[in-house]
Structure 1
């Protein structure tokens, strides 16, 4: 659908269309599982060179597998562990060019080489994370991060 290093603005425009689709699909829906399921399906359809797209949801001091697209995944991840747990403990997006160089990386799928994880908030509390894996090193750039953070912000207003 787009080239990874497209700085002509087309990539951002594609993301803007995706975000509008998410907003339209989510308007009026109150079921969190339904919202997260559609969000993961939209991203999986939209993004090239990804092998897992989904959500982990906060439960006590760990993340529990939520709606996703891809191969079976780790079910529970403690806060502070791996890329997902680090995103929660640091309360910020983690964009990792090479997951095998990330201290404490949890390898749910050995094919994954890069990852981006974005915290998801409701009422100023982290309720989970959006996790996207790729079999390509350094798959996610600053444009991906900025646009995926906007995607999550739109999703949050419906949760």
Structure 2
């Protein structure tokens, strides 16, 4: 048992009380326009604007694989933009997902969630456009978040 709760629904509308962090994986190119980020942008404009500014000013900040940007979108809701994929296309170096970067980002997410006393909500990160496999991502979540006592809910799209 991984300790991760699985539900059907939309990860942008977690139905639990308390502080919540909605986590998702971004690419390292500054691109925002396909996949789960569209759901995020439908609800809040701030995460996309913050991500684009973070990428634009990357020479002066920590933007890069494994980095996480936390954007508060409601009094009790944060969005974690986690840079966990190299580029956006499958090519000679394989799929875009970078498991080491996701692992690093999840460790940072765990620290923030613990500081906030927050639960974490996400789709199956790294497994859509990034091309990753859940069997490699799930243990990272269990190790970095669940093992530290952070409640995690993973959302699969509803019918």
Task: Please tell me the TM-score bracket, short chain as reference.
Answer: 0.3 to 0.5
Q: What TM-score comes out, normalization by structure 2 length?
A: 0.34
Q: Give the TM-score taking structure 1 as reference length.
A: 0.34
> Normalized per residue, which structure has more helix?
1
Report 1 or 2 for greater relative contact order, CA contacts < 8 Å, sequence distance ≥ 6.
2
